[in-house]
Structure 1
């Protein structure tokens, strides 16, 4: 099935060692941080209380780390998981530098593993290492992510094309 505007890699398009500099970036705002704190019930004062945060070593509120994870994952979707069946998990998440409102976050990924699924014909596992970095090219987060990805022949609607 050809869906207008449908892009992204299928299982056959991934090769170990491929690197993707994901398009665009995302500037994080105070509003993003407060909303995410509320949405996730994370009321740690370091994220939501500017007065408190001003008295810490950081001098201002930190962005919630899981917001950073979510944004960096989102930036990688067009290259890594646009044709995913499911995310299988994140491992080795490392938060290597603080993120503040006003920082612009970018991402890049490297393919570590590609293999056919043992239980789902026409689909396979893709494992990537992703790095999120700020406008100063400082790494702020790294992680590995495994995704179950459609092969071209198993994509939704493919059976109706034959």
Structure 2
């Protein structure tokens, strides 16, 4: 059970430096697209109908851009800086479509650590299996705060 399990917090801002990198590879499967469409009630034919998509410049169904954004936000929440972090702003572009069954490699890099406002700036570049750039972006992230004076029960539900 997710709520009942204690989780370790991600890295504090004082532990982070510009130049840190994280590489992740994500394979996009039917189940992922169907879960997204079910959660959002998004019935855009460009995402699911081969006969419609085949008549567009895309030629076949594409992956919703918000799903790709979710892969990035998940990487930040899980790894860089990790649990307890919060995305303050994001600017993400999708220069090429991502198709069903694609494998996307994400390269995240810390490019700035700002102690004054407790944020780090992280860039992201996503490439497909043909090494084409399909995602570029920059995110401003607030790393997790350490809680002072905790007793053993404070994070029981974390």
TM-score, with structure 2 as normaliser: 0.78
Alpha-carbon distance in 1 for matches of 2:7, 2:84: 16
The runs of 5 or more residues in structure 1 that have no matched partner are 119-123
Alpha-carbon distance in 1 for matches of 2:97, 2:80: 25
Could you say which residue in structure 1 is the equivalent of 2:112? 113
Q: Could you give the per-residue CA deviations for residues 76-95 of structure 1, whole angstroms, max 9, x where no partner exists?
A: 4444231444221212x110
State which of 125, 140, 146 in structure 2 corresponds to 1:155.
Answer: 146
Could you say which residue in structure 1 is the equivalent of 2:60? 60
Superposed CA RMSD in Å reads 2.5
Could you say which residue in structure 2 is the equivalent of 1:39? 39
Q: Could you give the per-residue CA deviations for residues 22-62 of structure 1, whole angstroms, max 9, x where no partner exists?
A: 24x21101232232123223222111212111222222111
Task: Point out the structure with the larger helix share.
Answer: 1
Q: Could you give the per-residue CA deviations for residues 74-115 of structure 1, whole angstroms, max 9, x where no partner exists?
A: 234444231444221212x11011111111112112222212
Change in CA separation of 1:86 and 1:8 when aligned onto 2, cut-off 3 Å: closer
The runs of 5 or more residues in structure 2 that have no matched partner are 1-5, 152-158
